[in-house]
Chains A and B, each alone.
Chain A
Amino acid sequence: MKKEHIRNFCIIAHIDHGKSTLADRFLEHTHTIEMHTVDQILDDMDLERERGITIKAHAIRMKYNYKDKEYTFNLIDTPGHVDFSYEVSRSIAACEGAILLVDASQGIEAQTLSNLYMAVENNLEIIPAVNKIDIPAAEPDELKEELAELLGVSEDEVLLVSAKEDIGIDKLLDAIVEEISAPLSKYSETRALIFDSQYNQYRGVVVYIRVFDGALHKGDKIKFFSTDNIFEIEDIGHFGLKMEPCEKLMAGEVGYIIAGVKQVREAKVGDTITLADNPTSHPLKGFKHPKPMVFSGIFPMDGANYNNLRDALAKFQLNDTSLVYEPENSLILGFGFRCGFLGLLHLEIFKERINREYGISIISTTPSVEFIIKKKNGDEITIDNPAQMPEQVEIESIKEPIMDCEILVPTEYIGNIMKLAQERRGVQKNMEYIDKKRVSIHYEFPLIEILFDFYDKLKSVSRGYASFDYEYREHRIADVQKVDIIVNGEKVDAMSFIVHSDKAYSWGKSITEELKKVIPKHLFKIAIQAAVGNQVIARSTINALRKDVTAKCYGGDITRKRKLLEKQKKGKKRMKEVGNVSIPQEAFLAVLKADRS
């Protein structure tokens, strides 16, 4: 395979703008699959049908004939969430070009832009394409103009397609050959980029790679640059509709290797693979150790599920590079695990999957970030759990994590963004006009300020147009303190949080109010307090239950009454006892959702 005949590219598109549909058309036009079988093939894979064939495959190889020559296309998929922007950046780094696909009836969405900028930063060739031109209400001309302006190209270079109606697809395929450059290699030593890795029950970890220089063969001893770990390639191949084994992957090619790797964390996305006996001294740029930024205690709702949860975490970790955990013990919640996540979304996905795939109902404690505490005795400790906070008198200083943030937003919302940033202790670094309508504002934010409801707030003050990206910068001294939540005199350790002193009151207030809404009335009055040390800073009261009675059992319908009481009893079972107060699972969530302005 000659490098000149390879094209590696991805599709940048907002959700529902037609990425999957377009990928399906590509597969047909390149005869990777026959037209009439598309539906059936996709039907066999429900999840993929829902999410698009390229999601699960993460990469697919196609053959395309252009001017009597055969080209190899590798379409590489990109995940689409903020917490995973690093993973997106690695997929993009594996390509030489990108199709920017925009729904004619929707226009460019903010999320698309941040991926586009990532692609531009990585020197990708961009092919702009307007999709869904078959929709009568679509306004492709206006969008064409906008895209041309955005990319600094002429309007003619913006392609018009309908993925669904199969319009303009061949032209787009031709453009891939014409516009996107063939892979180039710089070095003679072998270098391959890991852009994804997935755990397979039968085969261990399948490592998705893009070879930049040299070659990899079956049987080669390889080294992972970041860990120095050495493995032997047991199996190597391309991605067709299935994995297609071959003997070697050359510079420019995309494929997979299987090399006895047991956990995805051993094959880190972004890492460089090189040959053990002739290693490169130039790793591919941009690798980062996935660093958990957000920590939360994860406890089984039912203590009897502790072992199941432990097993689930171990399984989960096989396929999740960034999850870290260790045992944790809570007075209120019992035995569980302290887990670290990339961000709140990562945490949400984790909780959802533990619940759905492993059937374990869990409670998560108020998420925290990592603080570095310098004690008066000179010791320095790092804590990710408010429970580990030393006594106030022992503390010399506390450092909190600061993030570099990039907010892309249409100019008319700049004022709103600035106001929001100010509320969140943001420090504006600079502001750049991307084009006439959009600016990129660079801020530094303390991570705790953007952890909770920031993303939603950002979306709401910009009518959904702002997009947002962040990256760890440093730990910086801050005036923060620990706030405890106390329910009828008992401290709920799982709800403690660390916050800037100026905000202790307002956070305490909104959390005590939120708890008032979700903790059911009891036979007695319940006092909910937020306290710093011994000082109560906010409180709310839940009045005693005054009425809870079934007036009558009509005509002997005892079953109905029984059901009612059973429901009530079940409800009680789903709660955690704090002293004599039963706190429902939702209360722990409510703490998360409380307003943090």
Chain B
Amino acid sequence: MINNISIYIHIPFCIKKCNYCNFYSVPYKSNLVNNYISCLKKEIENFSPSDEYCVNTIYFGGGTPSLLSFHHLFKIITAIKNEFTIAENPEVTLEANPVNITKTNAKNWKICGINRISLGAQSFNNSELEILGRLHSEKEIYSAVEIIKEYCTENVSMDLMYGIPFQSMKTWTSSLKEAIKLEPKHISSYCLTLEKGTYLSDKKDEYSFPDENMQSKMYEQMITVLEKNKFYQYEISNFSKKGFESKHNLNYWKGGEYLGFGASAHSFYKMKRINNFSDINKYIEELAHKNPPIEKSKQISHREFISDKIVLGLRLNKGISISEFRNKHNFDIEKEYKDVLKKFFESGYLTKQNDKLKLTSKALFVSNSILSDFV
């Protein structure tokens, strides 16, 4: 039997730290990048899938993968191709920063097989972009999308952010509308959360943030505006044109297996949750000593797998299939979560339509309160 699997490649370099970001990333230095790429290659080559696995999706995330040169990207893609069986039409995504979009880059990405670009647009309002500490302006987003579409791929996804200091319903709505005008195939939205240790959280007293109430209104507004323009919500924070859902992310939400390579990358493989060292030097060192760069590896129980799958699956608008859990995983959701289901059916946060269990629309923005009863 052929098992589908996704591959994630982490590129932990950024030119400058954004004001809200607490991901692990380091400044771009060519020595370090060279070193890192060889290590990535090694890590991929050292990995030998023991079964028949077929790679359906590849995702370059970061950090800022669009900083990579052609040569680096090609090296990694080649390594993957050499080690794995690749599906007929794999989805290959690259996260890109608008400032890195040039004709040359776009062409090169196409040559490497990139067929989906996830663009970190965030906002179409320059002062908001500045508050976020992004390096691009509104203008650069327009030209970036044009170039990508002409030289790389029509399959563009855009990240947009709300809950930004001083953002109003008006500026948020206009960001949404500008994004729609550019005709991407997919939009991901994120509500700004203040993470400890970030610039914005240190300076939070100097900014006025939209409150929870406002954030929830912005969320609703987004759903309305996007649906009107035929972007269908298929997950709590994700919208797409028909047939352009992110296959890579769908695999996470459906509880599928994936392999992560690179510093701080995560894998779920043969019922193990594995995470690599996030410190890039530690990562490099381990590989230099021919060790797997793994910080932690944990075999999860069937029960934990089930609850992860429920919690992730309920994020999808389609919800989860009760019969699938019963037939494939020998787990009777309706029996095991009888009280929880009853509580949330009654309060109107969950519904059951035929075989599908889903969050209702009013549940989406408070979903953790519901999902936490399933862990």
Q: Spell out A's residues near B (CB within 8 Å).
A: 522-524, 545-559, 561-562, 564-566, 568-569, 572
Decide: B365 and A546 in contact? CB cutoff 8 A.
yes
Decide: B252 and A553 in contact? CB cutoff 8 A.
yes
Q: Is B323 an interface residue (CB 8 A)?
A: no
Which of A556, A566, A569 lies at the interface centre, i.e. has the most chain B CB atoms within 10 A of its CB?
A556
Chain A positions within 8 Å of B369 at CB level: 522-523, 545, 548, 568
Decide: A547 and B371 in contact? CB cutoff 8 A.
no
With A522-B369, A551-B190, A564-B368 already in contact, 13 other A-B pairs whose C-beta atoms are closer than 8 Å: A523-B369, A547-B212, A548-B368, A552-B237, A553-B312, A555-B266, A556-B8, A558-B252, A558-B266, A559-B273, A562-B375, A569-B375, A572-B373
Chain A positions within 8 Å of B266 at CB level: 555-559
Q: Is B222 an interface residue (CB 8 A)?
A: no
Q: Is B213 an interface residue (CB 8 A)?
A: yes
State A561–B311 Cα separation when bound (angstroms): 10
Q: Is B366 an interface residue (CB 8 A)?
A: yes
State A524–B346 Cα separation when bound (angstroms): 13
CB distance from A519 to the nearest CB of B (A): 14
Chain B positions within 8 Å of A559 at CB level: 266, 273, 275, 298
Residue of A nearest to B343 (CB): A580
Decide: B275 and A557 in contact? CB cutoff 8 A.
yes
Decide: B308 and A562 in contact? CB cutoff 8 A.
yes
Known: A548-B367, A549-B191, A551-B191. A558 touches B372 (CB 8 A): no
Decide: B368 and A558 in contact? CB cutoff 8 A.
no
CB distance from B132 to the nearest CB of A (A): 15
Decide: B311 and A565 in contact? CB cutoff 8 A.
yes
Candidates A523, A556, A562, A564; contact of B366 at CB < 8 Å: A523
Q: Mark B341-375, 1 if CB is under 8 A from A, else 0.
A: 00000010100000000000000111111011111
Q: Mark B260-297, 1 if CB is under 8 A from A, else 0.
A: 10001111100001010000000000000000000000
Q: Is B143 an interface residue (CB 8 A)?
A: no
Decide: A556 and B260 in contact? CB cutoff 8 A.
yes
CB distance from B361 to the nearest CB of A (A): 13
User: Can you name 9 A-B pairs with beta carbons within 8 Å?
Assistant: A523-B349, A546-B365, A548-B365, A555-B264, A556-B268, A557-B266, A565-B311, A569-B373, A572-B373
CB distance from A539 to the nearest CB of B (A): 21
CB distance from A6 to the nearest CB of B (A): 65
Chain A positions within 8 Å of B349 at CB level: 523
Decide: B365 and A549 in contact? CB cutoff 8 A.
yes
Decide: A555 and B265 in contact? CB cutoff 8 A.
yes
Q: In chain B, residues 168-214, which have Cβ atoms closer than 8 Å to a Cβ of chain A?
A: 188-191, 193, 212-213
State A229–B347 Cα separation when bound (angstroms): 64
Known: A555-B265, A569-B372. A547 touches B366 (CB 8 A): yes
Chain B positions within 8 Å of A547 at CB level: 191, 212, 215-216, 365-366
Chain A positions within 8 Å of B61 at CB level: 554-555
Residue of A nearest to B253 (CB): A553
Q: Is B116 an interface residue (CB 8 A)?
A: no
Decide: A556 and B365 in contact? CB cutoff 8 A.
no
Candidates B23, B212, B265, B368; contact of A568 at CB < 8 Å: B368
Q: Is B239 an interface residue (CB 8 A)?
A: no
State A561–B315 Cα separation when bound (angstroms): 12
Q: Is B236 an interface residue (CB 8 A)?
A: yes
Known: A523-B347, A553-B252. A546 touches B368 (CB 8 A): no
Chain B positions within 8 Å of A523 at CB level: 347, 349, 366, 369
State A559–B193 Cα separation when bound (angstroms): 19
Decide: A556 and B252 in contact? CB cutoff 8 A.
yes
State A552–B298 Cα separation when bound (angstroms): 22
Which of B188, B304, B366 lies at the interface centre, i.e. has the most chain A CB atoms within 10 A of its CB?
B366
Which of A523, A549, A554 lies at the interface centre, i.e. has the most chain B CB atoms within 10 A of its CB?
A549
Known: A551-B190, A556-B267, A557-B275. A545 touches B375 (CB 8 A): no
Q: Is B232 an interface residue (CB 8 A)?
A: no
Decide: A552 and B311 in contact? CB cutoff 8 A.
no
Known: A555-B8, A556-B267, A558-B308. A546 touches B216 (CB 8 A): yes
Which of A550, A555, A557, A562 lies at the interface centre, i.e. has the most chain B CB atoms within 10 A of its CB?
A555
Known: A558-B273, A569-B373, A572-B372. A546 touches B213 (CB 8 A): yes
Decide: A565 and B368 in contact? CB cutoff 8 A.
yes
State A569–B367 Cα separation when bound (angstroms): 13
Chain B positions within 8 Å of A562 at CB level: 304, 308, 311, 375
Chain A positions within 8 Å of B273 at CB level: 558-559
State A552–B21 Cα separation when bound (angstroms): 13
Chain A positions within 8 Å of B17 at CB level: none
Q: Is B134 an interface residue (CB 8 A)?
A: no
Residue of B nearest to A544 (CB): B366
Known: A550-B368, A565-B375, A566-B375. A555 touches B215 (CB 8 A): no
4 interchain residue pairs of minimum CB distance: A568-B372, A546-B212, A565-B372, A546-B216
Known: A523-B349, A547-B191. A555 touches B372 (CB 8 A): no
Known: A547-B216, A553-B252. A558 touches B268 (CB 8 A): yes
State A523–B373 Cα separation when bound (angstroms): 13
Chain B positions within 8 Å of A522 at CB level: 369
Chain B positions within 8 Å of A556 at CB level: 8, 252, 258, 260, 265-268
State A550–B370 Cα separation when bound (angstroms): 12
Chain B positions within 8 Å of A565 at CB level: 311, 368, 371-372, 374-375
State A552–B120 Cα separation when bound (angstroms): 14
State A564–B195 Cα separation when bound (angstroms): 14
Known: A559-B273, A569-B375. A552 touches B190 (CB 8 A): yes
Decide: B311 and A545 in contact? CB cutoff 8 A.
no
Candidates B275, B347, B364, B375; contact of A549 at CB < 8 Å: B364
Candidates B193, B215, B373; contact of A546 at CB < 8 Å: B215
CB distance from B111 to the nearest CB of A (A): 25
CB distance from A364 to the nearest CB of B (A): 28
State A556–B369 Cα separation when bound (angstroms): 21
Decide: B10 and A555 in contact? CB cutoff 8 A.
yes
Chain A positions within 8 Å of B374 at CB level: 565
Chain A positions within 8 Å of B367 at CB level: 548-550
CB distance from A541 to the nearest CB of B (A): 14
Chain A positions within 8 Å of B252 at CB level: 553, 556, 558
Q: Mark B87-101, 1 if CB is under 8 A from A, else 0.
A: 000000000000000
State A330–B298 Cα separation when bound (angstroms): 43
CB distance from B77 to the nearest CB of A (A): 18
CB distance from B192 to the nearest CB of A (A): 9
Decide: B23 and A554 in contact? CB cutoff 8 A.
yes
Residue of B nearest to A558 (CB): B308
